[in-house]
Structure 1
Amino acid sequence: MQIPDITGGMPAIDHHSHASVSRFRTVRQIEEHFATAHMEANVPAEVYDAFIAARNQGDAAALARLEADHGTQTLLDRGLLFRSTTFFATALREGCRQLYGPDADWDTQMRTAQEWGARGPSFTYDAAADLADTPIILTDVPYLDRTVWNPTRYRQVIRVDAYLYPFHTTETTLRGTEYQRFHTTFGNVLRTELKQYGMDTPPASFDAYLQFVDASLERRINEGAVALKLASAYVRPIDFGRAEQAEAQAAYESFAAGRSGDRRALENFLARRAAQVACDRGLPLQVHVGMGHPEPGMLMANTAPFLLEGFLNTRSLNRLKITLLHGGYPFSSDCAALVQTYGNVYLDFSWMPYLHHFYLRQKLAEWMEILPANKLLFGTDTAAPEFHVAAAHYARDSLNVVLDQGYQRKVWSAQQTEWLAQRILWENTAELYGLDMPRRA
């Protein structure tokens, strides 16, 4: 039976992406970036660390030595072969097919990708957004060059995590490099922001540090950020419990003096302070919940959405609009329970359209039957234009299937199916962020 195209002709807002965050990457480089787990599990930990460092630095000689001594590239190739059966691989190929020529062979598509990549940092993403009919894309990046990336289309979301770890290091006993990578990013952003205010290191006084954080956040919001985000699930539990300012101050000033302190009290106080800023400014707060990248480093237990309950029950934050990202896989039903319970909590299913096929349809059916019509948000969660196209394609496809099945089961009327599609694809995000959709030509 043919599924009706309920979403056809409807624009979409990409609620969560990383557009502009990375330079042009070939499809091979994209695949390798997400295929390191097999190699990590088959070499000594220090060899894996050396491989990631050499790859990040583009050190071809070091990579050649690691392959000769440990077979790192051979293991990576083997991992790619194993991952070729995943929906991730299927979606990447489909995105390339649609973006670079549905009737072209693979080599021609890759030549087109190279040609487009040479035409400027935003050219291919603009083409992908036009094809996907996503006139607005929210992008989680530290800084956005609005002279290159059209500010009408690309709206910046900024992470507040950089402010939570003023005296942190990347040292860890964990496997993989996720923990180190995220703390490195947080530290780089913090140093960049400190330099904006004439500082090389955090000030000795906690009051001075809070003044800096307030000024930095205010400036970045005034420059165009439309939301704040917490990505700390990659490095710690997301409970963000209550902490008094005196506790946070004692910890901060102890660290500033080179001593130890209650790191969690400091982090929690700063996270809640940033959330209050978002609430007071009427900005949504995005929170990463659930699985991370396919590499050891993140502790899954740290990402469970029920850890947020104490934070969500903060009375002064009852009007803060909070979006839980990525459908919270594998805690997708737990996320729905929170979103159903709290009127100010929403659920985005970015990342899922190009990682899951059958599972996404199952969860959409579950979510759409239990959640109010204003609670679900479409997103892609990608820096790769190929995945942007694929995610939009498969999200629409899944919505068409689930809405039609619901209509056949008499869950929704025909009018409600169209309304739900429109709400999920763009209206919910537009209302949440106060966005006006551009007029069509």
Structure 2
Amino acid sequence: MDKLYENILSEVKKLPIIDTHEHLDMEEHRVKKGVDLFSLFMTHYASSDLISAGMPVEDMDKLRGNQLDIDEKWRIFKPYWERAKNTSYCQCLLIAVKDIYGVDDINDFTYQELNARIVSMNKPGLYRRILKDMSHIELSICDVYWPDPFLLDEEFYRPAVRFDEFIFVESSDDISALEKRHGRYINSLNQWVRLLEDTMKEYKEKYHICAVKSGLAYSRILRYERTDYSEAEAIFNQLLSARGVGSEFCIQTKPLQDYMMHKVVQIASEMDLPIQIHTGLQEGNGNVITNSNPSHLINLFMDYPQARFDIFHAGYPYGGELSAIVKNFPNVYADMCWAHIISREYAVRILEEWLDTIPANKIFGFGGDYIFVEGVYGHQVIARENIARALANKVEKGYIKEGQCLDIAQRLLYQNPKDFFKL
């Protein structure tokens, strides 16, 4: 079995990747602002596990800031790192520091040298070395809230843009914020929808966005009911009448939000833009996991059969539900972005299940989902190992032949997202 796995892995390591989801800060911004070991690696993911292990949020803020020297930060960091370094989040960082910076561990004897190497290598060319040369990532789909034409290098990225601010409207302040951003005064729901449509069209033509993204599972349940225009309009008019009152003027806006989500899906589908939706675990500490079950989205999948949905994060921990959904709906695809570092065991297990239930062209094998490139590198190492392990397990059980493995892996890591996003 070990030999089989190693044979498959050696071939999987050679494959290029289309990375379905990133939050990467642009290289010029990172180089300009500077980083240290802790302000970089405690941006997210591993930081959540350290807080889960007991670190006070105030101490995490100190690690992310620039008021303490590296030794003072280490004294805060060390006890919680020792508690949490078993997790896949933390193991991902260890892979990155070993392969990128030549440091075998993060401990009392290495943190100063590791920090020095991170600081010295934080210069132009770092992203090319890590993303292209080491990770073999052809393109990354980068999640941006409002694109800036000077941010995204098309050699590295394609943008996916969130339109959640058109959906998650809770006060007149939310309307005013988009009016200011776009320089348009809004006095009706029809004008709000027109602004959404015009903005999406502009971003596709001007910025070449390849997808629409929604992350509202962090803020509300993913069930978007079909709402009558009149009901949504009445709520929107209430918000307009509250101009000047401020965000404390509370109105129940879920029906309006539901209506606008349907509009986002309709318009994206008409523009041939796929819709990426966060499901499953929310990053950070403390949220309502049941809000993010992908089964809440079934009515959208039914109502818009021409729309194409990319469902994120292997639905963790709802991968079984997602398996049934993707099997049943031709317009719904399963994405393993983030999942490999949430749990390696889960990723292998759910991929084995999916290869029993889902056509192989409907699975996307990797999205790094990181703010910093070192995390992307470590994540793709783990993803390649997980895919090779799942395939080896299928061969060992007699479910597939070894000769099929490379074709499946190539589909997952490259061809499927390339076709889906029309890259």
Letter in 2 for 1:141: V
Letter in 1 for 2:191: A
- Percent of aligned pairs sharing the same letter: 20
Gap change, CA 1:150 and 1:192, over 3 Å in 2: farther
TM-superposed deviation, 1:195: 3.1
2:300 pairs, out of 308, 311, 317, with 311
Letter in 2 for 1:124: L
What is residue 180 of structure 1 aligned with on the other side? none
Letter in 2 for 1:26: D
Q: Which runs of 5+ in 1 are unaligned?
A: 62-71, 171-186, 436-441
Per-residue CA deviations over 1:301-354 (Å, capped at 9, x if unaligned) read 11111111122210xx10211011011111111111111111111111111222
How far apart, CA to CA, are the structure 2 residues paired with 1:381 and 1:149? 16
1:85 aligns with 2:70: no
1:407 aligns with 2:417: no
Gap change, CA 1:338 and 1:25, over 3 Å in 2: farther
Mapped contact 2:97–2:104 kept (Cα < 8 A) = no
What is residue 357 of structure 2 aligned with on the other side? 370
How far apart, CA to CA, are the structure 2 residues paired with 1:387 and 1:320? 32
Mapped contact 2:25–2:372 kept (Cα < 8 A) = no
What is residue 233 of structure 1 aligned with on the other side? 217
1:282 pairs, out of 266, 272, 278, with 272
Mapped contact 2:53–2:80 kept (Cα < 8 A) = no
1:398 pairs, out of 386, 408, 411, with 386
Per-residue CA deviations over 1:376-427 (Å, capped at 9, x if unaligned) read 1021111121110111111111111221222233222233211101100010
What is residue 27 of structure 1 aligned with on the other side? 37
Q: Any residues of structure 2 matched to 1:8-407 within 5 Å, and which?
A: 8-20=13-25, 23=30, 25-29=35-39, 30-31=41-42, 33-34=44-45, 35=47, 51=58, 60=67, 78-101=79-102, 107-117=112-122, 119-120=123-124, 123-130=125-132, 131-168=134-171, 193-199=178-184, 203-222=186-205, 223-258=207-242, 261-296=251-286, 298-314=287-303, 317-377=304-364, 378-407=366-395
Per-residue CA deviations over 1:35-89 (Å, capped at 9, x if unaligned) read 367769989xxx96xx49976995959xxxxxxxxxx998876544322221211
Q: Which runs of 5+ in 2 are unaligned?
A: 243-248
How far apart, CA to CA, are the structure 1 residues paired with 2:60 and 2:85? 25
Gap change, CA 1:74 and 1:116, over 3 Å in 2: closer
What is residue 178 of structure 1 aligned with on the other side? none
Per-residue CA deviations over 1:106-128 (Å, capped at 9, x if unaligned) read 644432321232x25xx433322
Q: When the two structures are superposed, what TM-score results if normalisation uses the length of structure 1?
A: 0.80
RMSD of aligned Cα (Å): 3.1
Aligned length: 394
Per-residue CA deviations over 1:206-239 (Å, capped at 9, x if unaligned) read 2222222222222122222110011100000001
Q: When the two structures are superposed, what TM-score results if normalisation uses the length of structure 2?
A: 0.83
Gap change, CA 1:216 and 1:299, over 3 Å in 2: same
Gap change, CA 1:205 and 1:191, over 3 Å in 2: closer
How far apart, CA to CA, are the structure 2 residues paired with 1:418 and 1:288? 29
Letter in 2 for 1:341: N
Letter in 1 for 2:195: F
1:426 aligns with 2:378: no
Mapped contact 1:97–1:109 kept (Cα < 8 A) = no
Letter in 2 for 1:245: Y
SS of 1:313's partner is helix
Q: Higher mean Cα deviation, 30-39 or 240-249?
A: 30-39
Letter in 1 for 2:276: Q
TM-superposed deviation, 1:429: 0.2
